[in-house]
Structure 1
């Protein structure tokens, strides 16, 4: 299983803690040490599972809006996007549990024209106000269909590190990685009002693969 490069520090810390706690448990608890070691081993395994990098065949897209993350669609509604679009947009929100792959991908192809990091709170990621009050990043793309598409990585209650490696002027390719969020979090996508929506609340998405909407030229 291939692990994401963001896993290095977390896995080193987890390995050291596992080794220390296991040693202490065996030394002081003897035959009862397994009561500590087995649950720790499960948690240790979940850390590796969290940072997995699945093999996915990413296709080229023009009109299609691709799911940027693995997760569950928790919101589809018309909103006012005040940071970049400065007007009405359709917001699609996808919640990622700690068990989901947390690689963040471009939802559309085009040119990166805006990016900004916002410090903030750590409300639970499914909270509606997390989109504007939590730690987050905002990225905007001028798509190949000449639409402005905005998307946000949003830190959740247990997420404490957002990584986004894109810059204004970069070429974005739908389905390709641009960042990572450690542990539970959310991704919001803001689309033009005339976008054809191909998902519904409750749908499970596979990042880089599933088509969640289609841009109308």
Structure 2
């Protein structure tokens, strides 16, 4: 199983903790040590599972808006996007549980025209105000269909680390990685009002694969 580059520090710490706790359990509990070691092994395995990098066949897209993450669609609504677009847009929000793949992908192809990191709170990721009050990043892409699309990584109550690798002027390719969020959080995508939304609330998305909307060329 291929592991994400962001896994190195976490897995190192998890390995040290597992070894130390296992040794202590064996030393003090003797024959009962398995009662501690087995649950620790499950948690240790989940750390590796969280950082997995699935092998996915990413296609080229022009009009399609691709799910940027694995997760569940929790919001589709018209909102005022005040940071970059400064106009009304359709917001599609996808919530990620700790068991989801947490690679963040470009939802559209085009050119990166804006990026910014915002420190903030750590409200639960499904809270509506988390989009504007939590620690977050905002990226905007000028799509191949000449639309401005904004998307936002949002830290949650558990997620305390957001990374994004893109810079202004970079080429964006729908479905390809631009960042990572650790341990549960949310992605918001802000689309033009005339966008055809093809997902619905409750849908389970596969990042880089599933089409969530289509924009008119």
Q: So what's the TM-score if we normalise by structure 2? A: 0.99
| SS at 2:216 equivalent | coil
Aligned to 1:150: 150
- Quote the Cα distance in structure 2 between the aligned partners of 1:159 and 1:31: 37
Structural mapping, 1:49-128, within 5 Å? 49-128=49-128
Aligned to 2:34: 34
Structure 1 unpaired stretches of 5+? none
- Displacement, 1:130? 0.4
Aligned to 1:19: 19
| SS at 1:42 equivalent | helix
- Displacement, 1:178? 0.4
| SS at 1:154 equivalent | strand
Aligned to 2:172: 172
- Displacement, 1:216? 1.1
Summarize deviations over 1:18-46 as a string: whole Å, max 9, x none. 00000001000111111111110000000
Aligned to 1:4: 4
- Quote the Cα distance in structure 2 between the aligned partners of 1:37 and 1:157: 28
How many pairs are equivalent? 217
Aligned to 1:43: 43
- Quote the Cα distance in structure 1 between the aligned partners of 2:152 and 2:36: 39
| SS at 1:201 equivalent | coil
Q: So what's the TM-score if we normalise by structure 1? A: 0.99
- Displacement, 1:109? 0.3
Structure 2 unpaired stretches of 5+? none
- Quote the Cα distance in structure 1 between the aligned partners of 2:35 and 2:160: 30
- Quote the Cα distance in structure 2 between the aligned partners of 1:90 and 1:183: 26
- Quote the Cα distance in structure 2 between the aligned partners of 1:131 and 1:35: 42
Aligned to 1:201: 201
Runs of 4+ in 1 over 2 A off after TM superposition: none
Aligned to 1:162: 162
- Displacement, 1:193? 0.2
1:184 maps to 2:184: yes
Aligned to 2:213: 213
| SS at 1:123 equivalent | coil
- Quote the Cα distance in structure 2 between the aligned partners of 1:25 and 1:35: 9
